[in-house]
Structure 1
Amino acid sequence: MKMRKKMTMIVLTVILSLLVSACGQKPVTKADDVVLKIGYSGSLCEAPVHMAVEKGFFAEEGLKVELIKLAPGTTFEAITAGKIDAAFGLLASLMQPLSNGLPIKITTGLHTGCDKVLVPGDSGIKTLADLKGKRIGVPSMTSSPIIFAKRALAEAGVGVSEKNMEVEFAVFSASDLPIALKNGSIDALAMNDPTAAVAQKEFSLVTLADSAITEPYNTQYCCSAYVSENIAKDHPELAAKYTRAMQKASAWIQKNQVETAQIQVDKKWVAGDAAFNATVLKTYNYIPSVKGAYDAFGITAKQLQQVGMLNESVDVEALHKNSFIFFKDVQDTVQ
């Protein structure tokens, strides 16, 4: 009798523990119920996000989306905190955060272009090599412009590593960079479009390097689509839909830069003059490519390690492989 009671108690205890465990587990949300939260900042080259909304490519994929406007420089924080599920970003600026555990997976490259290194027309500086010993203004020490500048300078034989730094980088806000250049506080600047293109036009600046047109950078994808690791793991079908929608939008932009620029201004996605913005968009290659992003990542990551922007301990090959997710039902290239 005592043995029976003891066995009964054991069984009840096991059942109770299982019930408690089940109650403590977070239920998996069905894919059809998920509203994909997409972060954006309102930059010109972010056009695939804007057109995926305006031209119905998200809807065409059956995605429920919520667009969340983020302050510049807060995207990584937002995706780590779970405030957004997907975003659009500069490939080079993702590498260091990824090496430090940023929980995302890159899904496709979207376009080339974006970054410029500029000098005054009367500066006497004709080449990147002429910047040796000069002061270069940048929007931040981890931004895509400084990454591009360091890559281009290193290729030109100018030291940009901690052990051999032959230039000085100085941080200014994007709005102050052209003024700092004009008053002589810096000798050159590195900026993203459209602010770089606007400054170039307004202050008659000369291009030393432009990732949209300067070889070999003009063939390397600068911007990509990515999703959180949670979405990639729990809802890969949604990640694939997001990727296809972004690819479709990018391919549409490639054939419709003027209309894209007009929609962006009319719908207040970006500020500025639509006609001028269109001239900038035309310098980019908006033919989306998964392989293009993957190849560009491999090239750039090795260069960043060489110039000290990726720790020497980082296994670049493993970082390269682990930073992407691939889908059988997503085309490599869409035109």
Structure 2
Amino acid sequence: MNLKKKMSIVAVTVIATLLLSACGQKPVTKAEDFVLKIGYMGSLCEAPLHMAVEKGFFAEEGLHVDLIKLAPGTAFEAITAGTVDAGFGLLASLMQPLSNGLPIKVTTGLHTGCDKVLVPKDAGIKTLADLKGKRIGVPSMTSSPIIFAKRALADAGVSVTEKNMEVEFIVFSLSDLPIALKNGAVDALAMNDPTAAIAQREFSLNTLVDSAVTEPYSHQYCCSAYVRDNIAQDYPEVAAKYTRAMQKASAWIQKNQDETAKIQVEKKWVAGDAAFNATVLKTYNYIPSVKGAYEAFGITAKQLQQVGMLDNGVDVEALHKNSFVFFNDVQDTVQ
């Protein structure tokens, strides 16, 4: 074998060894250089994320972020695909996906409120029990509004299990829900803000139950911050920074709802009238709490299993424990 051929073989061997070695190594990324991809959809109650950007709480934590606008209903697909690393979500709507393996960890509760069940003022429907035999319009069969409605109805003695369903849920798009109610296609609506508050004002609707003000739901956290499993495990410092920034933003909102609503509209995070949006924000409790989210998860998960929205085979206690991550340098509650 001539020298040239020997050198070629050696070169190929060295390159192959380097490539194999590189493939077997985990990329090294310093926490301070990490860019966290955060998914968002531009809803009113998503204000902590908006204010974390606008008021500099991410920057204060030294966290680099890349915000990715998602289409409604695509957050879980984005998380599973690795398109986003973190997000903001309705706690109740996370439970079934978590039981099916959604790779996230909840890090803190951010606020209470969001969901309502609405009826026409002249419908003769005064209580949740009056909805027996009625049709309820919902944005989807897995959304937070239907989850909240089923919980509230069950608490009021109305059966909502698959074997004994005493109401009928019918899906309409968000924009069509109020029209469906006006035209008599449904007797009530289960919606979340801001569309619920807007429909209530424009169509002069009564509220049967409101998770922001009706007990015991008004004390239960509805929205939370979460990160992908791999971020919590491989970059806990990044996950903690994200959580602290979101907590700081939420606590700031609690004291500045009017300014928050104004910034959201002016910076085009959300549409609508700032003054009206502020009245909605003021019905929520924006005191962030890790413990609050953890307790609300436990209560809600058990109820969801009772009404058939979590499979009977799901170990609710294990799901509860495994769905959270806790950091020593993140406060339980920030005010």
Q: Name the TM-score class by shorter chain.
A: over 0.9
In the alignment, the residues of structure 1 paired with residue 19 and residue 108 of structure 2 have an alpha-carbon distance, to the nearest angstrom, of 42
- Name 2:262's counterpart in structure 1: 262
- Name 2:22's counterpart in structure 1: 23
Shift of 1:40: 0.5
- Name 1:129's counterpart in structure 2: 129
Verify: 1:217 aligned to 2:220, yes or no. Answer: no
In the alignment, the residues of structure 2 paired with residue 16 and residue 83 of structure 1 have an alpha-carbon distance, to the nearest angstrom, of 31
- After superposition, the CA RMSD in angstroms is 1.2
Identity within the alignment, %: 84
**CA 1:127 to 1:59, structure 2 compared with 1: closer, same or farther past 3 Å?**
same
Verify: 1:181 aligned to 2:181, yes or no. Answer: yes
- Name 1:322's counterpart in structure 2: 322
Shift of 1:30: 1.9
TM-score, normalised to structure 1, is 0.94
Q: SS state of the match for residue 264, structure 1? A: helix
Task: Spell out, residue by residue over 1:72-104, the C-alpha distance to the aligned partner (whole angstroms, 9 max, x if none).
Answer: 100000011111110000000000000000000
Shift of 1:245: 0.1
Shift of 1:28: 2.9
- Can you give the 5+ residue segments of structure 2 that lack an aligned partner in the other structure? 1-13
Higher mean C-alpha deviation, range 30-39 or range 18-27: 18-27
Shift of 1:163: 1.2
- Name 1:163's counterpart in structure 2: 163
Shift of 1:17: 9.6
TM-score, normalised to structure 2, is 0.94
- 1:1-335 superposed matches below 5 A: 21-25=20-24, 26-335=26-335
- Name 1:5's counterpart in structure 2: none
Shift of 1:34: 1.2
* AA aligned opposite 2:155: E
In the alignment, the residues of structure 2 paired with residue 250 and residue 181 of structure 1 have an alpha-carbon distance, to the nearest angstrom, of 34
- Can you give the 5+ residue segments of structure 1 that lack an aligned partner in the other structure? 1-14
- Name 2:9's counterpart in structure 1: none
In the alignment, the residues of structure 1 paired with residue 165 and residue 152 of structure 2 have an alpha-carbon distance, to the nearest angstrom, of 14
Shift of 1:207: 0.3
* AA aligned opposite 1:23: A
Q: SS state of the match for residue 260, structure 2? A: helix
In the alignment, the residues of structure 2 paired with residue 307 and residue 270 of structure 1 have an alpha-carbon distance, to the nearest angstrom, of 34
Shift of 1:33: 2.0
In the alignment, the residues of structure 2 paired with residue 43 and residue 295 of structure 1 have an alpha-carbon distance, to the nearest angstrom, of 24
Task: Spell out, residue by residue over 1:12-37, the C-alpha distance to the aligned partner (whole angstroms, 9 max, x if none).
Answer: xxx99986642212423221221111
Task: Give the count of matched residue pairs.
Answer: 321
In the alignment, the residues of structure 2 paired with residue 165 and residue 185 of structure 1 have an alpha-carbon distance, to the nearest angstrom, of 18
Shift of 1:270: 0.1
